[in-house]
Amino acid sequence: MNDKTTLPTGYPAASSHPPAFMQVSGEKGTTGATNTGALTDTGAHAGPRISSRRLREIQSHLSERDQAILASVDRYRFLTARHLQALHFTDHASATSAARTCRRVLARLRTLRILGVLDRRIGGIRAGSEGLVYYVDTAGDRLQRGVTSARARKRFDEPSARFLDHTLAIADMAVGILETAMAHGAEVVKLDPEHAATRTYADNYGVAQVLRPDLYVELAASTGDEEVSVFFIEVDLGHESLPTLLGKALMYEDYRSTGIEQRQFGGFPQVIWAMDAYRETTAQRRRKSLQDSLERNSRLNAGLYRIQAVQDTAMDIVQGLRHD
Protein backbone atom coordinates (compact mmCIF):
# COMPACT_ATOMS: atom_id res chain seq x y z
CA MET A 1 0.00 0.00 0.00
CA ASN A 2 1.34 3.45 -0.90
CA ASP A 3 0.49 6.83 0.54
CA LYS A 4 -1.77 7.97 -2.27
CA THR A 5 -5.41 8.32 -1.37
CA THR A 6 -8.28 8.63 -3.81
CA LEU A 7 -11.93 9.38 -3.43
CA PRO A 8 -14.51 7.00 -4.95
CA THR A 9 -17.60 7.93 -6.89
CA GLY A 10 -20.69 6.04 -8.00
CA TYR A 11 -24.29 5.62 -6.97
CA PRO A 12 -25.52 1.99 -6.82
CA ALA A 13 -28.83 0.43 -5.87
CA ALA A 14 -29.71 0.03 -2.20
CA SER A 15 -28.69 -3.09 -0.32
CA SER A 16 -31.37 -5.72 0.21
CA HIS A 17 -30.22 -6.50 3.76
CA PRO A 18 -31.88 -4.38 6.49
CA PRO A 19 -29.46 -3.27 9.22
CA ALA A 20 -29.77 -4.94 12.60
CA PHE A 21 -30.43 -1.66 14.39
CA MET A 22 -33.79 -1.33 12.66
CA GLN A 23 -34.96 -4.47 14.45
CA VAL A 24 -33.94 -3.67 18.02
CA SER A 25 -36.61 -4.63 20.48
CA GLY A 26 -37.99 -2.01 22.81
CA GLU A 27 -37.49 -4.30 25.80
CA LYS A 28 -35.52 -2.80 28.65
CA GLY A 29 -32.45 -4.42 30.11
CA THR A 30 -31.98 -5.21 33.77
CA THR A 31 -30.52 -1.82 34.58
CA GLY A 32 -33.03 0.36 32.73
CA ALA A 33 -32.67 2.61 29.69
CA THR A 34 -30.48 5.31 31.21
CA ASN A 35 -27.27 3.30 30.95
CA THR A 36 -25.24 4.26 27.87
CA GLY A 37 -23.09 1.17 27.80
CA ALA A 38 -20.32 2.48 30.02
CA LEU A 39 -17.86 0.05 31.52
CA THR A 40 -18.56 -1.06 35.06
CA ASP A 41 -17.01 -3.38 37.62
CA THR A 42 -20.14 -5.28 38.62
CA GLY A 43 -23.59 -5.96 37.27
CA ALA A 44 -26.29 -8.47 36.49
CA HIS A 45 -23.94 -10.72 34.52
CA ALA A 46 -21.23 -10.98 37.17
CA GLY A 47 -20.35 -14.55 38.15
CA PRO A 48 -17.92 -16.51 40.34
CA ARG A 49 -14.28 -15.61 39.94
CA ILE A 50 -12.27 -17.78 37.57
CA SER A 51 -8.88 -18.94 38.85
CA SER A 52 -5.74 -18.38 36.81
CA ARG A 53 -5.29 -22.14 36.54
CA ARG A 54 -8.79 -22.60 35.13
CA LEU A 55 -8.25 -19.66 32.79
CA ARG A 56 -5.07 -21.20 31.38
CA GLU A 57 -6.94 -24.45 30.87
CA ILE A 58 -9.68 -22.63 28.97
CA GLN A 59 -7.13 -20.75 26.91
CA SER A 60 -5.30 -23.95 25.92
CA HIS A 61 -8.49 -25.35 24.39
CA LEU A 62 -9.43 -22.28 22.36
CA SER A 63 -9.01 -22.61 18.61
CA GLU A 64 -7.71 -19.80 16.40
CA ARG A 65 -11.29 -19.13 15.36
CA ASP A 66 -12.40 -18.96 19.01
CA GLN A 67 -9.72 -16.37 19.69
CA ALA A 68 -10.64 -14.43 16.56
CA ILE A 69 -14.29 -14.36 17.65
CA LEU A 70 -13.29 -13.03 21.07
CA ALA A 71 -11.12 -10.36 19.44
CA SER A 72 -13.98 -9.27 17.16
CA VAL A 73 -16.49 -8.91 19.99
CA ASP A 74 -13.91 -7.02 22.05
CA ARG A 75 -13.18 -4.76 19.07
CA TYR A 76 -16.80 -3.85 18.31
CA ARG A 77 -18.16 -4.05 21.91
CA PHE A 78 -21.39 -5.82 20.86
CA LEU A 79 -21.99 -8.22 17.97
CA THR A 80 -24.89 -10.43 16.93
CA ALA A 81 -24.70 -14.01 15.72
CA ARG A 82 -25.24 -12.75 12.18
CA HIS A 83 -22.20 -10.49 12.46
CA LEU A 84 -20.05 -13.28 13.84
CA GLN A 85 -21.21 -15.75 11.21
CA ALA A 86 -20.31 -13.25 8.46
CA LEU A 87 -16.91 -12.56 10.00
CA HIS A 88 -15.77 -16.05 11.00
CA PHE A 89 -17.88 -18.76 9.35
CA THR A 90 -17.42 -18.08 5.64
CA ASP A 91 -15.83 -21.40 4.63
CA HIS A 92 -18.95 -23.59 4.85
CA ALA A 93 -20.74 -25.29 1.98
CA SER A 94 -24.01 -23.54 2.77
CA ALA A 95 -25.43 -20.73 4.88
CA THR A 96 -27.41 -23.32 6.85
CA SER A 97 -24.25 -25.22 7.75
CA ALA A 98 -22.46 -21.99 8.67
CA ALA A 99 -25.34 -20.86 10.91
CA ARG A 100 -25.53 -24.23 12.66
CA THR A 101 -21.79 -24.31 13.35
CA CYS A 102 -21.81 -20.69 14.45
CA ARG A 103 -24.59 -21.35 16.98
CA ARG A 104 -22.72 -24.37 18.38
CA VAL A 105 -19.44 -22.47 18.75
CA LEU A 106 -21.09 -19.45 20.36
CA ALA A 107 -22.97 -21.68 22.82
CA ARG A 108 -19.66 -23.29 23.85
CA LEU A 109 -17.99 -19.87 24.29
CA ARG A 110 -20.91 -18.79 26.48
CA THR A 111 -20.53 -21.90 28.63
CA LEU A 112 -16.84 -21.07 29.08
CA ARG A 113 -17.79 -17.46 29.93
CA ILE A 114 -15.69 -16.19 27.06
CA LEU A 115 -18.81 -14.45 25.75
CA GLY A 116 -22.02 -13.39 27.41
CA VAL A 117 -25.34 -12.23 25.99
CA LEU A 118 -27.41 -9.17 26.76
CA ASP A 119 -30.90 -9.40 28.18
CA ARG A 120 -32.17 -7.41 25.19
CA ARG A 121 -32.50 -9.25 21.86
CA ILE A 122 -32.49 -8.05 18.28
CA GLY A 123 -35.97 -8.56 16.87
CA GLY A 124 -37.54 -9.23 20.25
CA ILE A 125 -37.94 -12.39 22.28
CA ARG A 126 -39.25 -14.44 19.33
CA ALA A 127 -35.93 -14.02 17.50
CA GLY A 128 -34.46 -16.94 19.47
CA SER A 129 -30.71 -17.54 19.32
CA GLU A 130 -30.45 -15.44 16.15
CA GLY A 131 -31.47 -12.40 18.18
CA LEU A 132 -28.79 -12.70 20.86
CA VAL A 133 -26.30 -9.87 21.28
CA TYR A 134 -22.84 -10.93 22.49
CA TYR A 135 -20.33 -9.09 24.66
CA VAL A 136 -17.00 -10.12 26.24
CA ASP A 137 -17.73 -11.98 29.50
CA THR A 138 -15.51 -12.67 32.53
CA ALA A 139 -13.12 -15.26 31.10
CA GLY A 140 -12.88 -13.46 27.77
CA ASP A 141 -12.09 -10.20 29.51
CA ARG A 142 -9.36 -11.85 31.59
CA LEU A 143 -7.85 -13.42 28.47
CA GLN A 144 -7.84 -10.10 26.68
CA ARG A 145 -6.07 -8.46 29.63
CA GLY A 146 -3.73 -11.38 30.35
CA VAL A 147 -4.24 -14.52 32.41
CA THR A 148 -2.47 -13.26 35.53
CA SER A 149 -3.80 -9.70 35.50
CA ALA A 150 -4.75 -8.53 38.98
CA ARG A 151 -6.61 -5.44 37.77
CA ALA A 152 -10.35 -5.48 38.45
CA ARG A 153 -12.28 -6.65 35.41
CA LYS A 154 -14.17 -4.10 33.39
CA ARG A 155 -17.29 -5.31 31.65
CA PHE A 156 -20.31 -3.88 29.91
CA ASP A 157 -23.53 -3.45 31.79
CA GLU A 158 -26.83 -3.73 29.93
CA PRO A 159 -26.82 -0.78 27.49
CA SER A 160 -29.64 1.53 26.57
CA ALA A 161 -31.56 0.80 23.36
CA ARG A 162 -30.14 3.97 21.78
CA PHE A 163 -26.55 3.06 22.56
CA LEU A 164 -27.03 -0.50 21.34
CA ASP A 165 -28.75 0.68 18.16
CA HIS A 166 -25.78 2.84 17.24
CA THR A 167 -23.14 0.27 18.17
CA LEU A 168 -24.81 -2.49 16.16
CA ALA A 169 -25.36 -0.13 13.23
CA ILE A 170 -21.59 0.46 13.12
CA ALA A 171 -21.01 -3.30 13.19
CA ASP A 172 -23.63 -3.68 10.42
CA MET A 173 -21.71 -1.15 8.35
CA ALA A 174 -18.38 -2.87 8.91
CA VAL A 175 -19.74 -6.32 8.02
CA GLY A 176 -21.56 -4.86 5.01
CA ILE A 177 -18.33 -3.36 3.71
CA LEU A 178 -16.47 -6.65 4.18
CA GLU A 179 -19.19 -8.71 2.47
CA THR A 180 -19.60 -6.25 -0.41
CA ALA A 181 -15.85 -5.99 -0.99
CA MET A 182 -15.55 -9.79 -1.09
CA ALA A 183 -18.45 -10.08 -3.55
CA HIS A 184 -16.87 -7.53 -5.90
CA GLY A 185 -13.27 -8.69 -5.69
CA ALA A 186 -12.14 -5.63 -3.72
CA GLU A 187 -9.82 -5.69 -0.70
CA VAL A 188 -10.48 -4.20 2.71
CA VAL A 189 -7.01 -3.01 3.63
CA LYS A 190 -8.04 -1.58 6.99
CA LEU A 191 -11.29 -1.34 8.94
CA ASP A 192 -11.17 0.35 12.35
CA PRO A 193 -14.12 1.05 14.68
CA GLU A 194 -14.20 4.13 16.88
CA HIS A 195 -11.59 3.34 19.53
CA ALA A 196 -9.02 2.33 16.87
CA ALA A 197 -10.01 5.17 14.50
CA THR A 198 -9.65 7.96 17.09
CA ARG A 199 -7.49 10.93 16.11
CA THR A 200 -6.00 13.47 18.51
CA TYR A 201 -4.89 16.98 17.54
CA ALA A 202 -4.47 20.50 18.91
CA ASP A 203 -6.94 23.15 17.79
CA ASN A 204 -6.06 26.74 16.84
CA TYR A 205 -5.80 27.63 20.53
CA GLY A 206 -3.45 24.78 21.31
CA VAL A 207 -6.14 22.84 23.18
CA ALA A 208 -6.05 19.05 22.77
CA GLN A 209 -9.03 17.69 20.85
CA VAL A 210 -10.21 14.15 20.14
CA LEU A 211 -11.97 13.18 16.92
CA ARG A 212 -13.82 9.85 17.06
CA PRO A 213 -15.05 8.61 13.68
CA ASP A 214 -17.45 5.67 13.85
CA LEU A 215 -15.34 3.82 11.28
CA TYR A 216 -12.08 4.34 9.39
CA VAL A 217 -11.88 2.38 6.13
CA GLU A 218 -9.16 1.74 3.57
CA LEU A 219 -10.25 -0.04 0.37
CA ALA A 220 -8.46 -1.23 -2.77
CA ALA A 221 -10.27 -2.12 -6.00
CA SER A 222 -8.57 -5.52 -6.07
CA THR A 223 -6.24 -7.57 -3.89
CA GLY A 224 -2.73 -6.20 -4.00
CA ASP A 225 -3.79 -2.94 -5.68
CA GLU A 226 -1.57 -0.10 -4.47
CA GLU A 227 -4.24 2.55 -5.04
CA VAL A 228 -6.20 2.86 -1.80
CA SER A 229 -9.40 4.83 -1.21
CA VAL A 230 -9.87 6.06 2.33
CA PHE A 231 -12.98 7.04 4.31
CA PHE A 232 -14.14 8.24 7.68
CA ILE A 233 -17.73 7.02 8.19
CA GLU A 234 -20.26 8.54 10.56
CA VAL A 235 -23.42 6.51 11.21
CA ASP A 236 -26.43 8.60 12.23
CA LEU A 237 -29.76 6.99 13.10
CA GLY A 238 -31.68 10.20 13.65
CA HIS A 239 -30.78 10.50 17.34
CA GLU A 240 -28.51 13.56 17.14
CA SER A 241 -29.57 17.14 16.45
CA LEU A 242 -28.48 18.90 13.27
CA PRO A 243 -26.22 21.33 15.22
CA THR A 244 -24.48 18.30 16.77
CA LEU A 245 -23.83 16.80 13.34
CA LEU A 246 -22.60 20.12 12.03
CA GLY A 247 -20.30 20.44 15.04
CA LYS A 248 -18.80 17.05 14.21
CA ALA A 249 -18.22 18.19 10.63
CA LEU A 250 -16.40 21.27 11.93
CA MET A 251 -14.18 18.99 14.01
CA TYR A 252 -13.26 17.11 10.84
CA GLU A 253 -12.47 20.45 9.20
CA ASP A 254 -10.30 21.52 12.14
CA TYR A 255 -8.46 18.21 12.06
CA ARG A 256 -7.96 18.44 8.29
CA SER A 257 -6.49 21.93 8.67
CA THR A 258 -3.72 20.57 10.91
CA GLY A 259 -2.33 18.50 8.00
CA ILE A 260 -1.59 15.58 10.33
CA GLU A 261 -3.48 12.99 8.28
CA GLN A 262 -2.12 14.33 4.99
CA ARG A 263 1.50 14.25 6.15
CA GLN A 264 1.17 10.73 7.50
CA PHE A 265 -0.87 9.15 4.71
CA GLY A 266 -0.63 11.47 1.71
CA GLY A 267 -4.22 12.68 1.70
CA PHE A 268 -7.36 13.23 3.75
CA PRO A 269 -10.18 10.65 3.80
CA GLN A 270 -13.58 11.44 2.41
CA VAL A 271 -16.12 11.81 5.23
CA ILE A 272 -19.32 9.85 4.65
CA TRP A 273 -22.45 10.58 6.65
CA ALA A 274 -24.51 7.39 6.52
CA MET A 275 -27.90 8.60 7.74
CA ASP A 276 -31.13 6.84 8.52
CA ALA A 277 -34.15 7.09 10.79
CA TYR A 278 -37.10 4.94 11.75
CA ARG A 279 -39.20 6.79 9.15
CA GLU A 280 -37.79 7.17 5.65
CA THR A 281 -39.38 10.60 5.23
CA THR A 282 -37.55 11.76 8.36
CA ALA A 283 -34.27 10.31 7.08
CA GLN A 284 -34.63 12.10 3.74
CA ARG A 285 -35.39 15.39 5.45
CA ARG A 286 -32.40 15.07 7.77
CA ARG A 287 -30.04 14.18 4.92
CA LYS A 288 -31.15 17.23 2.94
CA SER A 289 -30.91 19.51 5.98
CA LEU A 290 -27.36 18.41 6.73
CA GLN A 291 -26.35 18.80 3.07
CA ASP A 292 -27.77 22.33 2.98
CA SER A 293 -26.00 23.23 6.23
CA LEU A 294 -22.65 21.92 4.98
CA GLU A 295 -22.94 23.91 1.77
CA ARG A 296 -23.90 27.12 3.59
CA ASN A 297 -21.12 27.00 6.18
CA SER A 298 -18.13 28.99 4.93
CA ARG A 299 -15.73 27.09 7.20
CA LEU A 300 -16.48 23.77 5.51
CA ASN A 301 -15.34 22.28 2.24
CA ALA A 302 -18.64 20.68 1.24
CA GLY A 303 -16.88 18.49 -1.35
CA LEU A 304 -15.12 16.62 1.45
CA TYR A 305 -18.43 15.18 2.69
CA ARG A 306 -20.90 12.76 1.18
CA ILE A 307 -24.35 12.10 2.63
CA GLN A 308 -26.36 9.00 1.85
CA ALA A 309 -28.65 6.33 3.26
CA VAL A 310 -27.13 3.80 5.63
CA GLN A 311 -28.19 0.86 3.46
CA ASP A 312 -26.51 2.33 0.35
CA THR A 313 -23.12 3.09 1.83
CA ALA A 314 -21.20 -0.20 1.56
CA MET A 315 -22.20 -0.83 -2.05
CA ASP A 316 -21.61 2.79 -3.00
CA ILE A 317 -18.04 3.01 -1.79
CA VAL A 318 -17.04 -0.43 -3.10
CA GLN A 319 -18.53 0.09 -6.56
CA GLY A 320 -17.09 3.59 -6.61
CA LEU A 321 -13.57 2.15 -6.43
CA ARG A 322 -13.82 1.20 -10.09
CA HIS A 323 -14.50 4.78 -11.12
CA ASP A 324 -11.58 6.49 -9.35
The CATH number given to 38-157 is 1.10.10.10
User: Tell me, what's the pLDDT at 323?
Assistant: 55
pLDDT per residue as tens, the chain (324 positions): 444 333 333 323 333 344 444 444 433 333 333 334 444 443 444 567 888 899 999 999 999 999 999 999 999 999 999 999 999 998 877 888 999 999 999 999 999 999 999 987 675 444 455 679 999 999 999 999 885 554 556 655 788 889 999 999 999 999 999 999 999 999 999 999 998 999 999 988 889 999 999 999 999 998 888 899 999 999 999 999 999 999 999 999 999 999 999 999 899 999 999 999 989 999 999 999 999 999 999 999 989 999 999 999 999 999 988 655
Distances from the Cα of 4 to the Cα of 225, 229, 300, angstroms? 12, 8, 23
The CATH number given to 5-18+162-323 is 3.40.91
Residues in the chain: 324
SS3 label, residue 309: strand
> Can you say how many angstroms the Cα of residue 274 is from the centroid of all Cα atoms in its chain?
13
Residue 278 backbone class (left: φ over 0; alpha: ψ -120 to 50; beta: rest)? alpha
Same fold, 5-18+162-323 and 38-157: no
Residues 6 or more apart from 25 whose CB is under 8 A from it?
A: 120, 121, 122, 123, 124, 125, 127, 131, 161
SS3 label, residue 113: coil
SS3 label, residue 230: strand
Helices and strands in the chain, H and E counts: 11, 13
Listed by start position, the domains of the chain span: 5-18+162-323, 38-157
CB 50 within 8 A of CB 162: no
CB 197 within 8 A of CB 191: no
